[in-house]
Amino acid sequence: MKTVITFGTFDVFHVGHLSILNRARALGERLVVGVSSDALNFSKKGRNPIYPQQARLDIVAGLKCVDAVFLEESLEKKREYIRGFDADVLVMGDDWCGRFDALADICTVTYLARTPSISTTSIIEVVRSI
Ligand code: C2G
């Protein structure tokens, strides 16, 4: 069975998140999603996500296109996760283009186009301004 793996924070879940997960799932028969931990986000962005990690895990796990979820604890552990889940394809958004090419020795590395004009940051800004 062809397994696809992808990663993300998926904070304030929106249609751009759904779109990349659906497209990732279509590349194989099983989709495994690494949801980045609150601690990983804090270390990258200096703030916690709006939705805590358990809520983000539950939302992503509840999607029809998703077969399994796990907590992504470090950006540097992708090789370990890919091996652990026996993934054939790594999917990342094209904002990460080129960044994970070194993993092409153990799986196919695919960057998919992001959905334009929507982001968690822009949603937060709109809600803040109301
Ligand atoms: N995405 C998208 N279109 C948007 C917004 C996001 O296709 N308009 C995609 C991103 O490219 C990513 C996924 O949705 O593939 C999750 O996005 P984020 O939560 O912003 O993920 P990020 O914080 O970049 O992931 O190892 C990666 C880390 O987990 C961080």
| pLDDT tens column, 16-36 | 999 999 999 999 999 999 999
Counting ligand 1 atoms within 8 A of each CB, the residue from 4, 5, 6, 7 with the most, and so the one to mutate, is 7
User: Quick one: average pLDDT of 33-60?
Assistant: 97
Q: What angle do CA 42, 87, 2 make, to 5 degrees?
A: 135
The residue among 58, 56, 61, 107 whose CA lies nearest residue 81 is 107
Nearest CA to ligand 1 atom 21: 8
Read off the pLDDT band of 129 (50, 70, 90): very high
Q: How far apart are CA 110 and CA 38, in angstroms?
A: 26
Q: How far apart are CA 12 and CA 35, in angstroms?
A: 13
Read off the pLDDT band of 9 (50, 70, 90): very high
36 Cβ below 6 A of ligand 1: yes
Alpha helices of the chain — where are they, by DSSP H?
A: 15-25, 38-45, 53-61, 78-84, 120-129
For 12, the token pair is 């304030």
The per-residue pLDDT for 26 is 98
Provide the mean pLDDT of the chain. Answer: 97
The per-residue pLDDT for 85 is 98
The residue among 118, 127, 82, 126 whose CA lies nearest residue 100 is 82
110 Cβ below 6 A of ligand 1: no
Could you tell me the distance, in angstroms and rounded to a whole number, from the CA of residue 29 to the centre of ligand 1? 21
β-pair partners for 72? 36
The per-residue pLDDT for 40 is 98
Read off the pLDDT band of 3 (50, 70, 90): very high
Q: What angle do CA 32, 26, 107 make, to 5 degrees?
A: 55
Nearest CA to ligand 1 atom 30: 8
Ligand 1 atom closest to the CA of 11, numbered from 1: 19
The per-residue pLDDT for 122 is 95
Nearest CA to ligand 1 atom 24: 8
Would you say the pTM of this structure is higher than 0.95? yes
